[in-house]
Structure 1
Amino acid sequence: MKSVANIDFSKLSLFDSILATSQIIREDFPAECVLLELNAKVQEAKSYISSENQPNRQLKKLLELFYKHWHFGSASGVYKLSNVLWIDHVLKTRQGTAVSLGVLFLYIAQSLHLPLNPVIFPTQFLLRADWMNKKKWLINPFNGEIVNKHILQVWLKGNISPTAKLYESDLYKSEPITVIRKMLDILKSALIEEKKMELALNVINVLLQIDPNNPYEIRDRGLIYAQLKCHHVAITDLIYFIEHCPEDPISEIIKLQIHSIEQKKIILH
């Protein structure tokens, strides 16, 4: 795997950061093809919204184009979660998650100089448009609908807790590195679920270069190494987690895992 040590995320746009990390995780990721296709869509979108002069009307036209004419939307039927996260797959199938659809729409909107930003809301990824009159639109990337605060409050109560409250800070613009970490966390879980351990390991190594010595990422890496039968490095990682998170309830389970690995090592020898 290529190193991300020379990537300065603070100087890259969100989309460029996602392209860079995708290439590192997947050797076959077609970054150039993705950019060519997206830039063609930017040109098509530029023509489609040209009849409008006001940015808010232009954004409405772009939502119409993206969701109604291009038919992008949430995934349905039987699918692998990783496929609706990879940007190249989403471009082919037009089916994605809130994050992958949102990232694609955001790239096009920002290329057209529309005032759109990412928001990691507690229940899902959102897009936020800020207008001159201080009003804002909050867009659900699954379907392009503009949602109000009442809907967001319902989401919180239904997904977090019946007593959850909506705070203004929940709607703040998210930095690109925060969005990337969120996307990679979801991708890691999907790849582990799909038993694609080598790719999941690549994701963890990227996350560890973003946040070195994170004990939870090191724990997950250790568990993957255990499945790949790399026992020595697995034990080293799992012990690191126990030493750094002794109060975490899962530490007791990890101790049992270490014992199991050590027993396997004894049997193998």
Structure 2
Amino acid sequence: MDLRRQTAEWDALCTLPDDDIPLLRATLLIASDEYPDLDVAAYESICSGYERELAPTVEALDEPQAKLARINRYLFDELGFTGNQNDYYDPRNSYLNDVLDRKLGIPISLGVVQMELARRMGVPLEGVSFPGHFLVRLPVDGGLLVLDPYHKGRSIDAQELKLRARPHLGGNDIDDQQLLQILSPASHRAILTRMLRNLKGLYAERETWDKALRCADRLVRLDPNGADEVRDRGQLYARLGHGSAASRDLSRYLQLRPEADDVDAVRTALIDAGAATPRLN
């Protein structure tokens, strides 16, 4: 896909209301950063093929829970999608074309495939930005069915969810009301944000700064007033020697967060970025 066209399409998606953002297409646009010649439509058609194969058996069922069970059996047992437990931090686990090709992923990418199939089958499956691992949820009979895409759509009860949350909440126990708050549905924008942050973190750990920067740029385009993302993009610009761009972002961060704990460090970085910017006399 042409870079200019791809950027324009991403920017257009970013202006949509959360629920109107086409999640599968947006994640494939993210993958086109790594694969510039990616045929997005071809991978959308793979999911269309899954839909055609699955629809007759799902449509014969009445209850959403039964429909979801059939979707999960098809996705995880018949097609063989599973969590990549041998190389969890392989960036390919976050690129939807690779996930569809290899049938391997991490919780959020497998969850996107699961939600896409459910959407096509009329099943209201939602994402959950749970601490640690991304989950999905289905409202049933006044309650919630919570599933783990990483472990073949296994259902998780309230006790296990509380135990999973504890290490991410200072080791503190949580009550049922707090658990329900944690299980609130994630918007499509939040899901894309989490996926891009995962990738940005992976590339930063590997010191692959140009790839971390492209993730940061998508994050800022997704939320132009996201102060932390603006700061991170500025710092990555600085690492790559783009002084003017770094200065713009770091200055913007200071405007957005004038009382932030790291303002002194950012001001120093801003001075350094300005000093590194070539000046014409």
* Shorter-chain TM band: 0.7 to 0.9
Aligned to 2:182: 170
In structure 1, the partner of 2:160 is 151
- Alignment counterpart, residue 27 of structure 2, candidates 18, 30, 37: 18
Question: d(CA) in 1 for partners of 2:277 and 2:11?
Answer: 34
TM-score with structure 2 setting the length: 0.81
Q: Which residue of 2 aligns with 1:90?
A: 99
Residues 39 and 242 of structure 1, relative CA distance in 2, 3 Å threshold = same
Per the alignment, residue 60 of structure 1 pairs with: 69
Gap change, CA 1:79 and 1:151, over 3 Å in 2: closer
Question: How much has 1:124 moved relative to structure 2?
Answer: 2.8
- Kindly provide the CA deviation profile for residues 73-110 of structure 1, in whole angstroms up to 9, marking residues without a partner as x: 21122465421111001111211111100000111111
Unaligned residue ranges in structure 1 (runs of 5+): none
CA distance in 2, matches of 1:151, 1:172: 17
Q: Secondary structure at the match of 1:167?
A: helix
Task: Give the equivalent residue in structure 1 for 2:134.
Answer: 125
In the TM superposition, 1:208-223 aligns within 5 A as 208-223=220-235
Identical amino acids, percent of aligned pairs: 20
**Using the alignment, how far apart are the partners of 2:270 and 2:25 within structure 1?**
39
Q: Does 1:140 align with 2:148?
A: yes
Which amino acid counterpart does residue 212 of structure 1 have in structure 2?
P
Q: 1:202 aligns with which of 214, 221, 241?
A: 214
Instruction: Name which of 12, 23, 38 aligns with 1:6.
Output: 12
TM-score, length-scaled by structure 1: 0.84
| 1:247 CA drift (Å) | 3.9
Task: Give the conservation status (yes or no) of the 8 Å contact 1:106–1:116.
Answer: yes
Which stretch shows the higher mean deviation, 231-240 or 211-220? 231-240
- Paired residues, what number? 265
> 1:29 maps to which residue?
38
Instruction: In structure 2, give the amino acid aligned to 1:41.
Output: Y
Cα 1:171–1:48 shift into 2, 3 Å? same
Aligned to 1:179: 191
**Structure 1 residues 242 and 51: CA distance shift in structure 2, 3 A:** closer
Give the counterpart of 1:233 among 239, 245, 266.
Answer: 245
CA distance in 2, matches of 1:58, 1:230: 51
| TM-fit CA distance, 1:211 | 1.6
| CA shift in 2, pair 1:263/1:202, >3 Å | closer
Structure 1 vs Structure 2 CA RMSD:
2.8
Whether contact under 8 Å (1:26, 1:199) holds in the other structure is: no
